[in-house]
Copies of this chain bind each other. A is one copy, B any other.
Amino acid sequence: MTNIQQEFKKLAVIGTGVIGNGWIARFLAQGYDVVAFDPAEGAEAKTRKTVSHAWSSLEKLGLAPGASRERLTFVPTLEEAVSDADLIQENVPEREELKKNVLASIDQFAKPEAIIGSSTSGIMPSVLQEGLTHPERFLVAHPFNPVYILPLVELVGGEATTQAVIKKAAQFYELIQMKPLIINKEIEGHLADRLMEALWREALHLVNDGVATTEEVDAAIIYGAGLRWAQMGPFLTFHLAGGEKGMRHMLEQFGPALKLPWTKLEAPELTDELKEKVIQGCESHAGDVSISELEQKRNEFLVELLDLVEKYWPESNNLVKK
């Protein structure tokens, strides 16, 4: 057992909506004792149903030794849930005042050294930790739905969060098979949600302006960019669209388009400094793998992915009208 395993034995989940339940399923599958609290009527039954639904996928991903759905306890008060926990995951609705109130209670009843992670999609940690007695052990730990399958968790500390807490949290989330992405600059929406939100708002504009239906937007992503982003993300994907010279050529060719009204979002100035950051970032991500090898890997991936899409959601075929 590693040190980190010894330090985190009991986990508390506060708020059991879609995200809270996702955490519970992941924690249980990773072999932890979980205590949950949610004041909503019928919350426990809903959670147990969600965990049962998720379990077959979790088995396929691989359960930790000792993992059991029986190791979940619902308790009637927040105090009971957090008083004995080593890590508390907060998942109440995305309203600043509500979150601050709940976090104040967690802070009050938790052990002083327990780590508090908030699943907030967009509120900055410095805002949420204001007024806590022990703000140093608070951080944003923002996951993605379904939490029990998707590996990404964004970790963002506030001004009062210690580096030691961020480091320890990263080790813990990694231990439970996640990819902790530490974000060093606080910003509304953190990182992933800013990207998602930009696309989401543009999509809402397109629907609002009568350019497309939601189904056409879904089709435009499913059969195009969505397939590529899953493997390499937006930057490395464009690195491959530039041919042999990669991102350098891509920026030469499409840089001028940043001035065009191709979205309602204004682009930053494509300065030499920004260009070099982008080019070098792509070259570093690609590592020693040549563009031609990258293309081969991408192609093989896409051929298999198209089969998967067809296997699990052939209904998208109906999105493209004849």
Which residues of A come within 8 Å of B, CB atoms? 17-18, 53-54, 56-57, 60-61, 93-95, 121-122, 144-146, 149-152, 154, 170, 179-183, 185, 187-189, 191-236, 238, 240-243, 253-254, 256-258, 260-268, 270-271, 274, 277-278, 281-282, 284-287, 289, 292, 295-306, 308-309, 311-313, 315-322
Contact = CB atoms under 8 A, between A and B. Distances in A.
B313 A232 contact: yes
B220 A303 contact: no
Given A200-B234, A214-B235, A234-B218, A180 B305 contact: no
B197 A262 contact: yes
Given A197-B263, A204-B267, A313-B232, A152 B219 contact: yes
A274 B146 contact: no
Nearest to A254: B94
Residue in A17, A209, A232 with the greatest tally of chain B CB atoms within 10 Å: A232
B195 A149 contact: no
B151 A223 contact: yes
A216 B265 contact: no
Smallest CB-CB A-B distances: 7 pairs: A218-B233, A214-B281, A189-B262, A198-B202, A226-B229, A152-B223, A152-B224
Contacts of A284: 215
The number of times this chain is found in the oligomer is 2
A170 B305 CA distance: 24
Contact of A150 (B227, B267, B296): B227
Contacts of A256: 94-95
A213 B303 contact: no
A220 B195 contact: yes
Contacts of A145: 228, 240-241
A112 B165 CA distance: 70
Contacts of A185: 209-212
Given A121-B257, A152-B223, A189-B262, A274 B208 contact: yes
A121 B217 CA distance: 16
Contact of A17 (B202, B223, B243, B262): B243
A187 B211 contact: yes
A200 to B, nearest CB: 6
Contacts of A308: 231, 301, 304-305, 308
Nearest to A61: B303
A267 B297 contact: no
